[in-house]
Amino acid sequence: MSAAGEGWADGSPALPGVAQPAGSAGSAARPAAARGSGGRAFVEIYDTTLRDGSQQVGLDLTVEDKLRVAAALDALGVDVVEGGWPGSNPKDKEFFARAGELPWRNAQLAAFGATRRPNRSADGDPDLETLLVANTPIVTLVGKAWTLHVDEALRTSRDENLAMIADSARFFVRERRRVVYDAEHFFDGYAADRGYALACLAAAAEAGADTLALCDTNGGTLPDDIVRVVRDVIGHFPGVRVGVHCHNDSACAVANSLVAVGEGATHVQGAANGYGERCGNADLFAVIAGLELKREHELLPPGRLAALASTAREIAELANLPFDAKQPYVGSSAFATKAGLHASAIARRPDAYSHVDPSRVGNRAHVLVSELAGRSNVLVKAAELGLDLSSDPELATAVLEEIKDAEHRGYAFEAADASFELLVRRVAGRSAGEIWPSWFDLEGYRVVIEKTDGIAGGSGGSSPQDSTDRSEAIVRLLLGEQRVVAVGEGVGPVHALDQALRKALSELYPQIASIHLVDYKVRILDGRAATSAVTRVMLTSADHDGEWTTVGVSDDIVTASWEALADGISYGLLRAGAEALVPAGA
Ligand SMILES: [Zn+2]
């Protein structure tokens, strides 16, 4: 049962303390019809994942990755993709050289760079030249706006800084580029010397920059200060597009972006999934969802908001970073309710327990089953999976008994949705006298764990991989009449088993290529519930539509892992519609 449907009125109540954009000059919410095909959203969404976002620790994108991220953002429908800083490294330079390979359906490309060097001319400045060569319709120039930085970091005169901003903007305007001025440390600069901070903006605007992006570079500004400063700036620069670029060091980056738009800002910079250095940039996806669902701005092309969750996941995968289950709007737990006494109420009125309809952002609601949950929670959970147990009290009792028994042995279904569904389907099949469909039967497996010390003799020295534990697994399966034996190699026994299982199944089930392992967690349970310590493995698998979690429990880790792995693959094949060898009811 999906939570889609009645209850979430369009235009939910206003966020407390946020001025409605409609009504303030130049900031009326754009009517849906006004976007039109290929038109630009009134609030411009400017993505900086590839430049500022990639400053995040652990985020290292190749040029190929960068092109894929750009394509995903373009497909989602953001207005601007900032590709990088071509002057800072060869990788970004190559990205711009290859950016033309992408179809670019929605977004325009921006190149980022600093204002010209002090006491030099803009003409002939090598960094500006590199920016020009990137050949993008938009050039974003970062420049100082805080006296402290002019005096201490730039070590030049304040007038020279103003000239650097103006000259650099004029240089690109003359080359018919659209110029965005990123006013670095603007809010700190404003607090230190309002007149000078505004003079920096004026220098850019008078030179032809069409957007003034106020950056909270240190991320320490709170929403009420953002409101006050943005209001003041917009009053000073009528007719110029004013935007914000907020960092999350006070956990306010999204809130600051939203209140800035409330004040009339029409350009928001941020990064996918909130990536960025230190505490990150504003999470662009939360900004988009908030403005579309709660402020009736139409930011993305029609229908694209529903691609938000899958885009967020896709970019996390390209970034090779774990996807945060708690990420607002798009995380797998964002609409997961732990059913207590109110399980039936959740089923009746999902809108009473979620702030928006999850299907609008391509997510879905979950009811978590926990050990303390009773019969009603199991019914709700099964109903969510499309299995109506309420009409069959006997079956409901059988499922409940099985779950209680499994939980006693150490299983936890709270997060292991897929194992729960497989269990319900197996019990349901059994009580109907049917045979649960299966894709493979295990005859046996063997795992060999090999430990090396990293000093590989005679074969070209040691790489980091040589010093990890290599394991080898042999899996013997029955696929109907056919017996298949496959060998897999991997880092650790689970990886080796996964490789062997995939190899054994790949010919019969090509769908397996799209199923992959995303997370693996092991917990040793003490002997409280069971008579001896047992190992519980939680394994998360994913395909391009989403992810699911399975659980395995045993005295030893390999058996527990196998169980979670076999369930994970079975569930993936079920999702993919792969025809089972033993059909239901056979
Ligand atoms: Zn930044």
Cβ burial, residue 255 (10 Å; 0-12/13-18/19+): buried
What is the per-residue pLDDT across 443-499, written as a single tens digit (0 to 9) for each?
999 999 877 665 544 444 444 444 567 899 999 999 888 899 999 999 888 899 999
Separation of 83 CA from ligand 1 center, angstroms?
14
Structure tokens given for 571: 């569930």
- As beta bridge partners, residue 138 has 110, 178
Task: Report yes or no: 110 and 180 within 8 Å, Cβ to Cβ.
Answer: yes
Separation of 347 CA from ligand 1 center, angstroms?
43
Separation of 103 CA from ligand 1 center, angstroms?
27
What is the per-residue pLDDT across 248-284, written as a single tens digit (0 to 9) for each?
999 999 999 999 999 999 999 999 999 999 999 999 9
Structure tokens given for 537: 């493995």
Separation of 537 CA from ligand 1 center, angstroms?
39
Separation of 284 CA from ligand 1 center, angstroms?
13
Over range 168-191, report the average pLDDT.
98
CA angle centred on 78, ends 73 and 79, rounded to 5°: 130
Separation of 139 CA from ligand 1 center, angstroms?
16
Separation of 238 CA from ligand 1 center, angstroms?
25
Q: Are strands 211-216 and 178-184 parallel, antiparallel or unpaired?
A: parallel
The percent of residues in the chain predicted with pLDDT above 70, rounded, is 86
Which phi and psi (to 5°) does residue 148 adopt?
Answer: -55, -40
- Which residue would you say has higher pLDDT here, 219 or 438? 219
Separation of 142 CA from ligand 1 center, angstroms?
10
Q: Is the pLDDT assigned to residue 298 strictly greater than 70?
A: yes
Separation of 523 CA from ligand 1 center, angstroms?
39
Over range 166-190, report the average pLDDT.
98
Query: Which of 102-116, 149-163, 469-483, 523-537 has the lowest average pLDDT?
Result: 523-537
Q: Is the pLDDT assigned to residue 162 strictly greater than 60?
A: yes
Q: Give the distance from CA 87 to its chain's centroid.
A: 28
- As beta bridge partners, residue 243 has 213, 267
- Which residue would you say has higher pLDDT here, 461 or 130? 130
Separation of 25 CA from ligand 1 center, angstroms?
28
Separation of 268 CA from ligand 1 center, angstroms?
12
Task: Report yes or no: 499 and 492 within 8 Å, Cβ to Cβ.
Answer: no
Separation of 219 CA from ligand 1 center, angstroms?
9
Query: Which of 1-5, 321-325, 559-563 has the lowest average pLDDT?
Result: 1-5
pLDDT of residue 27: 29
Separation of 215 CA from ligand 1 center, angstroms?
7
Which phi and psi (to 5°) does residue 179 adopt?
Answer: -110, 125
63-76 and 90-98 helices, crossing angle to 10°: 50
What is the per-residue pLDDT across 397-411, written as a single tens digit (0 to 9) for each?
888 888 888 888 888
Query: Which of 38-52, 506-520, 534-548, 558-572 has the lowest average pLDDT?
Result: 38-52
Separation of 77 CA from ligand 1 center, angstroms?
22
Separation of 213 CA from ligand 1 center, angstroms?
11
Residue 20's pLDDT band (cuts 50, 70, 90): very low
Sheet holding 482-491, edge to edge: 441-450, 470-479, 482-491
Task: Report yes or no: 56 and 279 within 8 Å, Cβ to Cβ.
Answer: no
Over range 209-214, report the average pLDDT.
98
Cα(142)–Cα(200) distance, rounded to whole angstroms? 11
Which phi and psi (to 5°) does residue 56 adopt?
Answer: -65, 140
Helix (H, G, I), strand (E, B) or coil at 362: coil
Cα(449)–Cα(266) distance, rounded to whole angstroms? 58
Measuring CA to CA, which residue among 119, 115, 189 is closest to residue 152?
189
Separation of 217 CA from ligand 1 center, angstroms?
5
Residue 570's pLDDT band (cuts 50, 70, 90): very high
Q: Is the pLDDT assigned to residue 421 strictly greater than 70?
A: yes
> How many other C-beta atoms are found inside a 10 Å radius of the C-beta of residue 362?
20
Separation of 227 CA from ligand 1 center, angstroms?
19
Cα(48)–Cα(70) distance, rounded to whole angstroms? 10
Measuring CA to CA, which residue among 117, 111, 126 is closest to residue 178?
111
- Which residue would you say has higher pLDDT here, 23 or 450? 450
Cα(465)–Cα(472) distance, rounded to whole angstroms? 15
Separation of 218 CA from ligand 1 center, angstroms?
8
Residue 371's pLDDT band (cuts 50, 70, 90): low
Q: Is the pLDDT assigned to residue 442 strictly greater than 60?
A: yes
Q: Distance between the two ends of the chain, CA-based, in angstroms? A: 27
> How many other C-beta atoms are found inside a 10 Å radius of the C-beta of residue 166?
24
Separation of 96 CA from ligand 1 center, angstroms?
20
Phi/psi region, residue 525 (left: phi>0; alpha: psi -120 to 50; beta: rest), is beta
Task: Report yes or no: 159 and 121 within 8 Å, Cβ to Cβ.
Answer: no
Helix (H, G, I), strand (E, B) or coil at 243: strand
Cα(525)–Cα(371) distance, rounded to whole angstroms? 15
Element (H, E) at 382: helix 375-384
Cα(213)–Cα(237) distance, rounded to whole angstroms? 12
- Which residue would you say has higher pLDDT here, 400 or 204? 204
Separation of 197 CA from ligand 1 center, angstroms?
17
Separation of 271 CA from ligand 1 center, angstroms?
10
Separation of 253 CA from ligand 1 center, angstroms?
11
Element (H, E) at 478: strand 470-479
pLDDT of residue 464: 45
What is the per-residue pLDDT across 301-357, written as a single tens digit (0 to 9) for each?
999 999 999 999 899 988 988 889 899 999 988 998 776 656 667 777 778 889 999
| 348, 393, 431, 432 from 400: Cα distances, Å | 21, 10, 13, 16
- As beta bridge partners, residue 181 has 141, 212
Separation of 449 CA from ligand 1 center, angstroms?
46
Separation of 286 CA from ligand 1 center, angstroms?
17
Separation of 113 CA from ligand 1 center, angstroms?
12
Structure tokens given for 472: 């080898």
Separation of 560 CA from ligand 1 center, angstroms?
45
Separation of 52 CA from ligand 1 center, angstroms?
5
393-408 and 375-384 helices, crossing angle to 10°: 100
Query: Which of 38-52, 137-151, 549-563 has the lowest average pLDDT?
Result: 38-52
Separation of 34 CA from ligand 1 center, angstroms?
31
Residue 30's pLDDT band (cuts 50, 70, 90): very low
E strands, 20-173, are 44-47, 80-84, 108-114, 138-144
Mean pLDDT taken over the chain: 85
Cα(358)–Cα(336) distance, rounded to whole angstroms? 10
Helix (H, G, I), strand (E, B) or coil at 313: helix
Over range 197-206, report the average pLDDT.
98
Task: Report yes or no: 27 and 18 within 8 Å, Cβ to Cβ.
Answer: no
Separation of 48 CA from ligand 1 center, angstroms?
8
Cα(525)–Cα(411) distance, rounded to whole angstroms? 10
pLDDT of residue 408: 81
> How many other C-beta atoms are found inside a 10 Å radius of the C-beta of residue 83?
27
pLDDT of residue 531: 54
Separation of 251 CA from ligand 1 center, angstroms?
15
Q: Is the pLDDT assigned to residue 78 strictly greater than 90?
A: yes
Separation of 184 CA from ligand 1 center, angstroms?
8
Measuring CA to CA, which residue among 116, 145, 143, 153 is closest to residue 131?
116
Task: Report yes or no: 287 and 270 within 8 Å, Cβ to Cβ.
Answer: yes
pLDDT of residue 3: 35
Separation of 370 CA from ligand 1 center, angstroms?
42
Q: Which residues surround ligand 1, an ion (CB under 5 A)?
A: 52
> How many other C-beta atoms are found inside a 10 Å radius of the C-beta of residue 148?
13
Separation of 120 CA from ligand 1 center, angstroms?
26
Separation of 280 CA from ligand 1 center, angstroms?
9
